[in-house]
Amino acid sequence: MTPWFDPKLIFVGGQWRPCASGETLPVTDPSTGAEIARIAKGGAADIDAAVCAAEEALAGEWGALSAAERGRILFRLGHLVLEHGDALAEMETTDVGKPLKQAKNDVVALARYCEFYGGAADKLMGQTIPFSEGFTVYTLREPHGVTGHIIPWNYPMQIIGRSIGAALATGNACVLKPAEEACLTALAFADLAAQAGLPAGALNVVPGLGAVAGAALTSDARVRHLSFTGSVATGRRVQIAAAEHIVPVTLELGGKSPQVVFADADLDKALPFLVNAGIQNAGQTCSAGSRILVQREIHDDLAARMADAIGKLRVAPAMEDADVGPLVSARQKGIVDGFLAQAGADQVLAQAPLPDDLPEGGNYVAPTLIGNIAPDHPLAQEEIFGPVQVLIPFEDEEDAVRISNGTKYGLVASVWSADGGRQMRLAKRLQAGQVFVNNYGAAGGVELPFGGVGQSGHGREKGFEALYAFTTLKTVAAHHG
Ligand code: NDP
């Protein structure tokens, strides 16, 4: 996999250039541990240059474009993403270890975000407000200005799509700091955006370490909105930095999302969702449905079905496109292995086999089903971010709600039941930003507002809702007598 651009460069003001220090960081293939490229180690000076370029774009060509013209550029970008789909998917697969078909899904999602926000760009309207005689009052939706985007490594293309897509549609100029483990598709996206006609400085991409380049971006007073997806610990730092300059933030911080399976559920339909929600992207998914709550009378049946399905999963290097690939890094594997070490032998209900011929330097973890576990055990409370599902029995509806809502998180939840009344009651009572009934995730759904409550974060991305987050509302009251 050789990118068509030079990944050692940063993209600022519509130009490829070396970072100020000239230093680089390695890009390793998680399937093998081999170094496959190098990226720039951007720092504070590069973030400064990117913010300057973004401000110039707003004052220049980009700021002068109509909403319809911004939308047209996003449409062209969506087409280019699809045209380069195979290259982008292969790039992502070798960069983050995602099985190829999952990377292809991410390409389609990225294109869909460009289309959705391209179409929405000229449909975000203000209101007229009935007010006192002699006044005309209306509201305007205006861009924040320069927006900062800090992206994790698990779904780079999807998160770039939802965050940059909405920010550009509404006329902001973006500075993007991708995760050091996942910069290639972010750089590719910047190149495609330029090809689509995006004016210089409207999108700037600066790879680099979070503690250096990311921190410089969050502490820059000229950045007027921050969008962050990642861990609770780093999200907290981002929010504290934003508070310094009274800047709004959107935080999406993961979860420990429950899937609640009642005895009357269609288990044949549910099973593939229950398994896939835990192993998709090797479990490195903020919305992973990784806590399976099952009504006691069907616990043993579901445990046996899940154990059987998990035992049959195939783990292989990501380009082989098996069910599960490696984790993104040796560090992430260390985190997940640390969690698994907390499980007693009687709590491991099933594990997929790890083939003997897996490359030695790869970050492979066997998909695992954990059971016989109390709802307050760390394995049932913490975001593991690996291919690990926990199975917890419950007695009745009340018990299901109590256990479901009994973590610090609240991102996504699902209810599996044939009872319509129960579906509606649970949809109201589960503390989560999204609740799915008899499905999980709705295949990503770019149209569906997404975000959490509790320590899963705040603010909403995706759907039309994101357009409100990336704009500020101005009220105009004209007195004309
Ligand atoms: P982080 O939250 O640290 O990283 C997410 C992004 O934040 C990366 O771009 C990172 O840059 C950047 N960053 C790191 N430190 C700072 C900082 N001080 N200021 C600004 N930006 C910063 O997550 P990790 O990659 O360390 O993963 C650790 C755990 O976080 C995982 O095990 C998982 O539980 C959770 N996580 C959750 C995600 C989600 O989707 N909700 C996504 C990723 C992780 P860089 O990586 O280059 O240092």
Check if 23 is active-site: no
Q: How far is CA 334 from the centre of its chain?
A: 22
Check if 447 is active-site: no
In this prediction, residue 101 has a pLDDT band, given cuts at 50, 70 and 90, of very high
What integer best gives the mean pLDDT of the chain?
98
Instruction: Give the nearest ligand 1 atom to 150 CA.
Output: 9
Name which residue sits closest to atom 44 of ligand 1, judged by CA. 230
Type and span of the H or E element at 108: helix 100-120
- Of these residues, 252, 397, 447, 465, which one is catalytic? 252
Q: What is the pLDDT of residue 282?
A: 98
In this prediction, residue 463 has a pLDDT band, given cuts at 50, 70 and 90, of very high
Type and span of the H or E element at 403: helix 397-404
Q: Could you report the per-residue pLDDT of 382-420, keeping only the tens digit for each?
A: 999 999 999 999 999 999 999 999 999 999 999 999 999
Q: Could you report the per-residue pLDDT of 265-313, keeping only the tens digit for each?
A: 999 999 999 999 999 999 999 999 999 999 999 999 999 999 999 999 9
In this prediction, residue 261 has a pLDDT band, given cuts at 50, 70 and 90, of very high
Residue 443 confidence (pLDDT) above 90: no
| Cα–ligand 1 centroid distance for 230 (angstroms) | 4
Q: Could you report the per-residue pLDDT of 31-54, keeping only the tens digit for each?
A: 999 999 999 999 999 999 999 999
Residue 67 confidence (pLDDT) above 90: yes
Q: Could you report the per-residue pLDDT of 352-374, keeping only the tens digit for each?
A: 999 999 999 999 999 999 999 99
Instruction: Give the nearest ligand 1 atom to 178 CA.
Output: 9
Measured CA to CA, the distance from residue 454 to residue 2 in angstroms comes to 42
249 Cβ contact partners less than 8 Å away, ≥ 6 residues apart: 225, 226, 227, 228, 238, 239, 242, 459
Assign domain 258-445 to a CATH class: alpha beta
Q: Is the pTM of this model over 0.85?
A: yes
Instruction: Give the nearest ligand 1 atom to 207 CA.
Output: 47
Domain positions in the chain are 10-253, 258-445
CA distances from 223 to 91, 106, 149, 194 (A): 30, 28, 10, 22
Pocket of ligand 1 (CB under 6 A): 150-152, 154, 177, 179-180, 209-211, 214-215, 218, 229-231, 234, 237-238, 252-254, 286, 332, 335, 383, 385
Q: What is 187-224 written as a DSSP string? A: HHHHHHHHHTTPPTTSEEE--B-IIIIIHHHHT-TTEE
- For a mutational test of ligand 1's pocket, the pick from 150, 158, 181, 461, i.e. the residue with the most ligand atoms closer than 8 A to its C-beta, is 150
CATH superfamily of 10-253: Aldehyde Dehydrogenase; Chain A, domain 1 (3.40.605.10)
Residue 1 confidence (pLDDT) above 80: no
Per cent of the chain over pLDDT 90 is 99
Helix pair 420-429, 397-404: axis angle to 10 deg: 30
Residue 2 confidence (pLDDT) above 90: no
Name which residue sits closest to atom 38 of ligand 1, judged by CA. 230
- For a mutational test of ligand 1's pocket, the pick from 231, 327, 328, 462, i.e. the residue with the most ligand atoms closer than 8 A to its C-beta, is 231
CB 136 within 8 A of CB 481: no
